[in-house]
Amino acid sequence: MSAGPYSPLNSALFRTLAVLGRILVVLNGGLAAGGGLRLTYMEAPDVVDPRDQFQLDCHFDMGNEELYAVKWYKDDQEFFRYMPQQNPPTLTFPVAGVTVIPNTSECDITRCKVNLHNLSSRYSGGAYRCEISSEAPAFRLAAETRNITVAALPKEKPKITGLASSYADGDVLTAECTSDFAYPIPVLRWFVNGEPAVPVSRPTIIERESDFLVAQSIILRLLISGNLSRGDSIQIGCEASMPNVNFVPQLSTVIIPFKTANGEGVANNEKLQLWYSAFSSTPSPNYSSYHIILSIFLYIVIRYIANY
Q: What is the DSSP string of 28-57?
A: HHHHHHHSS-EEEEEE--SEE-TTS-EEEE
User: 213 or 271: whose pLDDT is higher?
Assistant: 213
Per-residue pLDDT, 285: 43
Is the model's pLDDT at 10 over the cut of 80? no
Q: How far apart are CA 303 and CA 268, in angstroms?
A: 11
In order of 40, 165, 197, 222, 238, the CA distances from 194 in angstroms are 47, 20, 9, 15, 10
Q: Is residue 9 part of a domain?
A: no
Query: 138 and 60 share a domain?
Result: yes
Q: Which domain holds residue 44?
A: 34-150
Per-residue pLDDT, 229: 64
Query: 140 and 57 share a domain?
Result: yes
User: 287 or 241: whose pLDDT is higher?
Assistant: 241
Residue 8, helix vs strand vs coil: helix
Is the model's pLDDT at 24 over the cut of 80? no
In order of 11, 147, 155, the CA distances from 245 in angstroms are 71, 12, 15
Is the model's pLDDT at 14 over the cut of 50? no
Query: 254 and 291 share a domain?
Result: no
> What is the number of domains present in the chain?
3
To the nearest whole percent, how much of the chain has pLDDT over 90? 56
Per-residue pLDDT, 180: 96
Per the prediction, the chain carries an average pLDDT of 79
Query: 266 and 255 share a domain?
Result: no
- By residue count, the chain amounts to 308
Q: How far apart are CA 72 and CA 58, in angstroms?
A: 9
Specify the pTM: 0.60
- Which of these three, 220, 235, 259, is where a domain ends? 259
Per-residue pLDDT, 261: 57
**Which alpha helices (H) appear in the chain, and where do they start and end?**
8-34, 261-279, 288-307
Chain centroid offset of residue 116 CA? 20
Query: 145 and 39 share a domain?
Result: yes
Is the model's pLDDT at 275 over the cut of 50? no
What confidence category does residue 171 fall into, taking pLDDT thresholds of 50, 70 and 90?
very high
Whether the CB-CB separation of 252 and 237 falls below 8 Å is answered with yes
Q: Is residue 39 part of a domain?
A: yes
Is the model's pLDDT at 196 over the cut of 80? yes
Is the model's pLDDT at 272 over the cut of 80? no
Query: 210 and 249 share a domain?
Result: yes
Per-residue pLDDT, 269: 36
Q: Is residue 22 part of a domain?
A: no
